[in-house]
Amino acid sequence: MPTISVRLLKGRSIDQKREFVEVVTREAASILKCGPDVIDIIFEDVEKHDWAVGGKLASDK
């Protein structure tokens, strides 16, 4: 059973996540030659002050 873990900065809408899981599940099932019903996707919403890129917190941008 493939499990796809996705970390995102907090703030994405349910509709965005819904569209993401539909597209990623469909494409992963096609590439991995498995049924979409065995693919799990787990979202982890991360606060901007808990994510840094290039030595700067995302909350400071």
pLDDT tens digits for range 43-59: 999 999 999 999 999 99
Q: Which residues are catalytic?
A: 2
Q: How confident is the model at residue 32 (pLDDT cuts 50, 70, 90)?
A: very high
**Which domains does the chain possess?**
3-60 (3.30.429.10)
Cβ proximity of 39 and 2 under 8 Å: yes
CA distance 55 to 51: 10
**Quick one: pLDDT at residue 44?**
98
Contacts of 40 (CB under 8 A, 6+ apart): 1, 2, 3, 4
How confident is the model over 10-14, as a mean pLDDT? Answer: 97
CA distance 17 to 32: 21
